[in-house]
Amino acid sequence: MNKLLIPALLAALVAGCSSTPVDETAGAPVESRSGAGVTPVTAGGLDSRGLPKELTDPKSVLSRRSIYFDLDKYEVKDEYRDLVAAHAKYLVANRGFKMLIQGNTDERGSREYNLSLGQKRSEAVKRSLVLLGATEDQVESVSLGEEKPKNPGRDEAAWSENRRADMLYKAPDGRGEF
Amino acid sequence: MTHMPTVFRRILLVLALFAAAVAHAQLSIEITGAGANRIPVAIAEFAGDQAAARIITATVRADLERSGLFRMVDPGGTTLDENAQVNFGDWKGRGADALATGSLARSADGRMEARFRLYDTQKQVALGGAAYLTGNDQLRAAGHRIADYIYEKLTGEKGVFSTRIAYVVKSGGQFRLQIADADGQGAVTALNSPEPIISPVWSPDGRRIAYVSFEKKKPVVYVHHLASGQRQVVANFKGSNSAPAWSPDGRRLAIVLSKDGNSQIYGVNADGTGAQRLSQSSGIDTEPRFGPDGSIYFTSDRGGSPQIYRMSGSGGDPQRVSFEGSYNVSPRPSPDGKSLAFISRRDGRFQLAVMDLASRQVQVLTDSNKDESPSFAPNSRMILIATETGGRGVLSAVSSDGRIKQRLSIAAGDVREPAWGPFNQ
């Protein structure tokens, strides 16, 4: 019976909400059965890709994985020093974990030259991590050049999002983000 | 020479000829410029099965017209086989300097045999002729062969109508490496991938294509055998692997690896073994391309901005080749070794430029904003580039003197990364 009522209730809500506030109690019996408000927990503290939650939980600093670069610049800016240090600390404490750093550029210019520029960015992040104790074996720096833009736009706002290096993790059991 | 006739003409051959073919994937060609002194040529209707013969003559006419070097003279429905008596005065009167006649017949083994003869109407002599055996589904291939023959007889250069091109189409989040005839028809997909494919290059024998694929979440260089579909990883070192280029003998590849830090040029055997570092800089060295003499042109930022350099095929001290401007990339030596095509940034616009290697004179050939990835036709006369119109990737073919321009676009998707294949062998 409930299933039949839902469309009717929704229809009533849509019809009624154009000028009056939605009556939140109207949908209550339905919402109590849905997944909203429930946080799924995986045993062992791993997320769906098999990584520890401290790497992916939005509340953890380690969930921040992107480092942005200025136009024609390839060195890691001071504002990312703490973030890089936090990731280096994690790699030092978890020697079995590996990281892939993908460098990216904006779309302007030669694809292959941009691939090399993206490599310069990922390499700069790798050098910083290695200086702070991560090992060469743990970290691989690669480039996606201009091929995988985060923002497909054609203006400076989009381009600045695409001048970026992303850090991906892999757990000792081979599960993870790359 | 003083004025450049502009012909706006859309050739949609395939719709008329092969309605059943994969029309959505075809490139359509638009000619936006032509040579100054075009040779007037008439292609008579060929004798034999009319439907089949028309496919051949239409292909020959479209090829010659598209080259920008010929003007088609209407044969007025006249059918002439290769042995017919030719009234030279009549054809001269119609304005044709050259005339081709021919026929199509079924040979004993069931294949079709296309025969033709080419005449000089001024000198009133036959310039030669040939016969091509072809399957029913390859009539257009026979047409390309005939067009190549006519082109060579009348211009003194080899034609490229029988060659193939490769390019990458991005549509619906998928990347397809496609192989098509030089006129954009008959496209087939060699590789389908959810991840980007860049930098395809043909082996000198035309059987294999090397390219960079991102399917392993990083750039890896593959060699792909077209007939079998067999793929071999030739470079998957730690870091990025990119920018493959074939040596003139097809035995080795120059590639770019970042295994020792920044991008540097290495030589490897075509199977990926025996990697040897060829360039030595603390910055970026990339985009290697072999000249016909075996030397390597490449892009380097060793002088502070990306410029083109040249070194011997075994490495060693490079010499700087480009000097004007602060961004000169993607060097492509012409197969005849006389010129170098590259992309030059001028006032924030990326344009195709050509350098005459003897005089070092540079000429900018386009007026576009986002030219990329030049690729010479094997006869060195045309350069295929990726460019953009209306925010969409299209291919453009430009003659090396900048006079003739053709645009090849695809209805559904972005086209990029063109590579012109070698002469048909």
CA angle A120, A123, A129 (to 5 degrees): 150
Burial B183-209 (b: 16+ CB within 10 A, else e): bbbbbeebbeeebbbbbbbbbbebbbb
> What's the CA gap between B91 and B42, in Å, rounded?
8
Residues 349-388 of B with CB under 8 A from A: 350, 372-373
SS3 state of residue B57: helix
Q: What is the pLDDT of residue A25?
A: 43
Domain of residue B50 covers 39-155
pLDDT at residue A19 tops 90: no
Q: What is the pLDDT of residues A157-175, one digit of tens each?
A: 999 999 999 999 999 999 9
Residue pair B337/B357 in contact by the 8 Å Cβ criterion: yes
- ipTM of predicted assembly, 2 dp: 0.90
Q: What is the pLDDT of residue A98?
A: 98
Residue pair A123/B258 in contact by the 8 Å Cβ criterion: yes
> What's the CA gap between B396 and B71, in Å, rounded?
21
Contacts of B293 (CB under 8 A, 6+ apart): B337
The answer on B212 and B335 residing in a single domain is yes
Tokens of B302: 């060793």
Q: What DSSP designation does A177 have?
A: -
Tokens of B18: 């092969």
Q: What is the pLDDT of residue B277?
A: 97
Q: What is the pLDDT of residues B32-50, one digit of tens each?
A: 666 668 999 999 999 999 9
The structural domain count of chain B equals 2
Position A119 confidence tier, pLDDT thresholds 50, 70, 90: very high
The answer on B98 and B138 residing in a single domain is yes
Average predicted confidence (pLDDT) for chain B? 91
Q: How many Cβ atoms are within 10 Å of A61's Cβ, its own excluded?
A: 13
pLDDT at residue A58 tops 70: yes
Cross-chain Cβ contact B219/A143 below 8 Å: yes
The answer on B312 and B168 residing in a single domain is yes
| pTM confidence score | 0.86
CATH architecture of the region A53-170: 2-Layer Sandwich (3.30)
Q: The CATH number of the domain where B306 resides is what?
A: 2.120.10.30
End position of a domain, from candidates B125, B155, B185: B155
Residues forming a β-bridge with A142? A102
Interface residues of chain A, partner chain B, Cβ below 8 Å: 100, 102, 108-113, 115-120, 123, 140-145, 147-148, 154, 168, 178
The answer on B389 and B285 residing in a single domain is yes
Q: Average pLDDT for residues B213-221, to the nearest whole number?
A: 96
Position B147 confidence tier, pLDDT thresholds 50, 70, 90: very high
Catalogue the E-assigned strands of B149-207.
164-171, 174-181, 188-193, 197-202
Q: What is the pLDDT of residue B33?
A: 66
Cross-chain Cβ contact B261/A111 below 8 Å: no
> What's the CA gap between B254 and B244, in Å, rounded?
6
pLDDT at residue B389 tops 90: no
CA B329 to each of CA B23, B208, B403: distance values in angstroms, whole numbers, following the listed order: 35, 25, 23
The answer on B284 and B408 residing in a single domain is yes
Residue pair B261/B218 in contact by the 8 Å Cβ criterion: no
Q: What is the pLDDT of residues B308-319, one digit of tens each?
A: 999 999 999 999
Q: Give the residue on A whose Cα is nearest the Cα of B264.
A: A116
Q: What DSSP designation does A121 have?
A: H
> What's the CA gap between A102 and A168, in Å, rounded?
8
The answer on B221 and B171 residing in a single domain is yes
End position of a domain, from candidates B155, B183, B207: B155
> Among A43-57, B25-39, B263-277, which stretch is predicted with the lowest mean pLDDT?
B25-39
* Sequence spans of domains, chain A: 2-31, 53-170
Higher-confidence position of B208 and B405: B208
> What's the CA gap between B82 and B363, in Å, rounded?
44
SS3 state of residue B167: strand
Cross-chain Cβ contact A147/B242 below 8 Å: no
> What's the CA gap between B337 and B365, in Å, rounded?
19
End position of a domain, from candidates B155, B190, B216: B155
Torsion of CA B250, B333, B336, B246, to 10 degrees: 0
> Among B19-33, B36-50, B228-242, which stretch is predicted with the lowest mean pLDDT?
B19-33
Position B385 confidence tier, pLDDT thresholds 50, 70, 90: very high
Phi, psi of B141 (to 5 degrees): -60, -40
Q: What is the pLDDT of residue A38?
A: 72
pLDDT at residue B362 tops 90: yes
Q: What share of chain A is helix, strand, coil (3-state, %, to 5)?
A: 40, 15, 45
Q: The CATH number of the domain where B134 resides is what?
A: 3.40.50.10070
The answer on B138 and B250 residing in a single domain is no
End-to-end CA distance of chain A: 46
Cross-chain Cβ contact A112/B243 below 8 Å: yes
Position B202 confidence tier, pLDDT thresholds 50, 70, 90: very high
Cross-chain Cβ contact B196/A108 below 8 Å: no
The answer on B322 and B384 residing in a single domain is yes
